[in-house]
Structure 1
Amino acid sequence: MKYLYLIRHAKSSWADDSLRDDQRPLNSRGTRQLGAMGRAIRAAGVLNGPIFCSNATRARQTLDGLIPEDLRQNTHIVPELYTFNYKTLINWLRNRQDEDSITLIGHNPALEELASYLLQQAPDSFPTCAFMQIALPVKHWHKLARNKGRLEQFLTPKDVSYEQFNRKRKKMPGGNDTPLARHIPETLQHQYLRMRDLETGVIRGFDSEFLHQYRIAIRRSRAIAESVSEISGDSNLRKATRALKRHAQATSQLRDLHVLLADLERWQLEEGTESALISSGARSYFANLADLEHQALAKRLCSRKYQKDMDEWFQLITSHHFEKTGRKLTTGDIRKALDKRIKQHNAQARQLSTQSPDDDYHSLRKLLKRIRYLAELDKPAFRAMLRQLKQRQQRFGDFQDLHVQIEMLTTFRDGIATEPDMFEPVAGLNDLIAGLASEKAGVRNDILTLGGIDGHPVL
């Protein structure tokens, strides 16, 4: 079995008419395509064999951006690969020797037509900086034949980079000056399509921003539907949101691990604490946990149950009954529901103290989120309140993140405490946990001074 990896150069510039075609460099978009794609193709195994690159400037810059110089042990610049004719590539490949895998960095239409020659069903297009892995059931490269290859993997920048995915995406219906209540069905349909489009990036797992945006879409969908259900009393809608809640909750652990891993890289730590993280293997431990959580989430998103839930959700939000329900909402209805939630919030806030368990703060955070989503049904009417709610949510979110991080680090510390030679790492972890606990106490005090919402007194 032979493996062929095809990489099309990243997006190139046409700004300078005086340059020959082979001298054209990458443009800014092409440069931005490289980071996430580099991680993806290295994970796919392109470094296991030789890499052959066209001598065109845009191809060589793609090679430089995808694969760091210290990892390029077996790379070759081949002028013959600067071609737009797939037959040239086939002839070149047939003259290769015993390499088990070969990576080509080249140009369209040659790469796209080469894939069409080797595969029975090739992708419809081969965008800039895209990557294709093809398995070839041959012992020698000169045995290459039409339609004998098997597509193992096909990735585009939009699959692995949220920034590239989000280019020129359609915005939600309406705007800040239009009450959401006037276009709830359209908004939920937009969020549904966004969730489905984001799933590929979540499953691929190369950019954590896909998961973050997916969580926003599914939680916002649930919150809007729950708000409509609360105001309208629609029991069918309330039932339908339970599936969204389950799927949203299934993303929480992975999100928390992503935040912790990012913070472990971001924090400016004392030398002893940094040494403790290294010697204890904490980063590897949490990275492995994140990998396991990602595998479980990817399996969920590919399951029949998930697909069924999403299909049923789409049928509901596109139904005539739901459209009628959404159109009936008024600012008065929203204000009534808001007043009820705000009074509930302020009653709970009055019970908070420095001695209250973290669960009480967590409960108030969730209630605050529901209040905000209710207010977002009519942004023009509740714009001032929304600014206040966003600031409050930020502090509650900080508190929750610190709570989770302390729990995860404490569990890890306890797990290694009895192992030999772990006295110093445990001491370093204790310092980190104590620092986070002190920061959490400060956030707790900030929350206790926030007061009531929208003029409703807490004291």
Structure 2
Amino acid sequence: MRHLFLMRHAKARQASSDMSDHQRPLRRRGLRQAAAMAGPLQRWGALAGEIHVSSARRTWETLVALDAAVPNLGLAARAHRQDALYAFAGEALLDWVKRLPDPTERMLVIGHNPALVELGRWLCHDAPDRLPTGGLLHLVLPGGPWQALAPDCARLAASLVPTAASHSLFQRRAPAPRAQGKADLAACLQMQLGHLYALVRALEPGVMAGADPEFLHQYRVNLRRSRAIGEALLATARASGRDKVPGLKRHLKHLKRRAQDTSDLRDLDVFLARLATAPPAAEEGTRRALHGWLSERARGEQQRLCQQLRQPDYAVEMQAWEAYLEGEAFREALARITPARIEAVLAERIADHNRDLVALSLEAPDQAFHDLRKTVKRIRYLAELQPKRHRALLADLKQRQTLLGELQDLCTREAWLAAFVESGAAPADASADIAAWQAALQTEKDAQREAIMTLAPLNA
């Protein structure tokens, strides 16, 4: 098999009276696009073979930006600038590809639209019909000679755009919340839930790409925030003596399950990031073996999550949630919410938190601290329904959530380290390293638990 990677140059300046199309340089955004794509390109093997670049300035600067992001690969020194790739018709690009020498098995072309899209669609009918600046197509071709390429002979292995590779780039295009103006509480909640739904759906390509863990984190946050608002609605309905909001529990159950499906992958991402930024005082062989084992688990979880997000039932569930948010039954339930009822539920949850906080001890199981963290999040989401009124409370909750989150991360690392040992993947001489690491984690956990226990009760 042969691998052909087609990449469009990153965002460039427009031509002007004193600058030809061939001379157009990259914008600052284009430099960020290229840097964001460098990691995925390296992981996909796109930088391991031959690299051919159009002679235009913007394509070469795209290559130079990739080179700066992964300087150990020497991309600029290996790349070939080709006048023939300064082409905008798919036929011209196909003609160039068919003249490649047969030993070429892996190649990256950095060029221009519409030639790249036309060639991609000619080779594979499943290829997308648009390729934004900085976008990439990975096509797997049959193993025959290049000149024997035929229509629809390729398989689309992957496609990626910068806004799915980098969450910071995505944020520039993310759905914006609707202006609430003088809308009443019910209308504000409906707009907020609609915005959260739009964010979840917009984040899905980045989650499936798996290039930037922040997509997964924000996807989880927005699912959980949606669920928390729904649970707050159920709680306020009970407080008003009407304990049913038709259909809501079923939708919240779906949101909970989808958020839970991401838990292991998120924990693995956090552990891998910790290994990279603050590695333990252990032998290199131990760290390398653990990193490889965690990475393999993360790849498996990423594949599983992608399969779930592509299933028809996922789309059906999400579309049903969107329709429910716009439905009459939900609007009627929202209309029954009042600030007084929100405050009553908030006071009840704060009382529960303070009771659970006082009951903690150094001998309490980790789960008691994790349950407290869940309570803090539920209080926060409820307080965020009226953020101006609860500014001081929200600041306190943020501090508590940080402390409790750090403890949970420590517990998660401890659990994955134990699973690593049980898997048999640890080196035979790593027992002392791992024992010392486990002891250090326990010391950190004890210190974190003590810090949590010294927190004062919450005030509304």
TM (norm. structure 1) is 0.88
Q: What CA deviation, in whole Å up to 9, does each residue of 1:349-374 have, x standing for no partner?
A: 12111221111111111111111111
Q: Which residue does the alignment assign to 1:95? A: 99
Q: Which residue does the alignment assign to 1:13? A: 13
Paired with 2:436 and 2:194, the residues of 1 have a C-alpha distance of 48
Aligned partners of 1:181 and 1:378 also within 8 Å: no
SS of 1:46's equivalent in the other structure is coil
Task: Note closer, same or farther for the CA distance 1:178–1:366 as it changes in structure 2 (3 Å cut).
Answer: farther
Structure 1 residue 146: Cα displacement: 5.5
RMSD: 2.8
Task: Note closer, same or farther for the CA distance 1:361–1:148 as it changes in structure 2 (3 Å cut).
Answer: closer
Paired with 2:182 and 2:413, the residues of 1 have a C-alpha distance of 38
Paired with 1:400 and 1:101, the residues of 2 have a C-alpha distance of 44
Unaligned segments of structure 1, at least 5 residues: none
Structure 1 residue 74: Cα displacement: 5.7
Task: Note closer, same or farther for the CA distance 1:119–1:335 as it changes in structure 2 (3 Å cut).
Answer: same
SS of 2:385's equivalent in the other structure is helix
Aligned partners of 2:175 and 2:199 also within 8 Å: no
Q: Where in structure 2 are the equivalents of 1:402-421 lying within 5 Å?
A: 402-413=410-421, 415-416=423-424, 421=428
**For residue 337 of structure 1, what is the amino acid of its counterpart?**
V
| Residue 250 (str. 1) matches residue 261 (str. 2) | yes
Counterpart pick for 1:265 among 260, 276, 291: 276
Task: Note closer, same or farther for the CA distance 1:137–1:403 as it changes in structure 2 (3 Å cut).
Answer: closer
Aligned partners of 1:399 and 1:443 also within 8 Å: yes
Q: Where in structure 2 are the equivalents of 1:161-176 lying within 5 Å?
A: 161-174=166-179
Percent sequence identity over aligned pairs:
37
Task: Note closer, same or farther for the CA distance 1:266–1:317 as it changes in structure 2 (3 Å cut).
Answer: same
Q: Which residue does the alignment assign to 2:334? A: 326
Aligned partners of 1:188 and 1:221 also within 8 Å: yes
Task: Note closer, same or farther for the CA distance 1:239–1:74 as it changes in structure 2 (3 Å cut).
Answer: same
Q: Which residue does the alignment assign to 2:240? A: none
Paired with 2:220 and 2:197, the residues of 1 have a C-alpha distance of 12
Task: Note closer, same or farther for the CA distance 1:239–1:154 as it changes in structure 2 (3 Å cut).
Answer: closer
Counterpart pick for 1:336 among 328, 333, 344: 344
Aligned partners of 1:49 and 1:74 also within 8 Å: no
Paired with 1:17 and 1:269, the residues of 2 have a C-alpha distance of 58
Structure 1 residue 336: Cα displacement: 0.7
Aligned partners of 1:180 and 1:379 also within 8 Å: no
The worse-fitting range, judged by mean Cα deviation, of 95-104 and 372-381 is 95-104
Q: Which residue does the alignment assign to 1:277? A: 286
**For residue 9 of structure 1, what is the amino acid of its counterpart?**
H
Aligned partners of 1:52 and 1:78 also within 8 Å: yes
| Residue 435 (str. 1) matches residue 443 (str. 2) | no
Q: What CA deviation, in whole Å up to 9, does each residue of 1:214-246 have, x standing for no partner?
A: 001100110000100111123532232111111
Q: Which residue does the alignment assign to 2:387? A: 379
Unaligned segments of structure 2, at least 5 residues: 238-242
Aligned partners of 2:180 and 2:188 also within 8 Å: no
| Residue 75 (str. 1) matches residue 85 (str. 2) | no
TM (norm. structure 2) is 0.88
Paired with 1:446 and 1:283, the residues of 2 have a C-alpha distance of 30
Q: Which residue does the alignment assign to 2:367? A: 359
Counterpart pick for 1:313 among 304, 321, 342: 321
**Number of residues of Structure 1 aligned to a counterpart in Structure 2:** 449
The worse-fitting range, judged by mean Cα deviation, of 339-348 and 207-216 is 339-348
Q: Which residue does the alignment assign to 1:234? A: 244
Deviation >6 Å, runs of 4+: 175-179
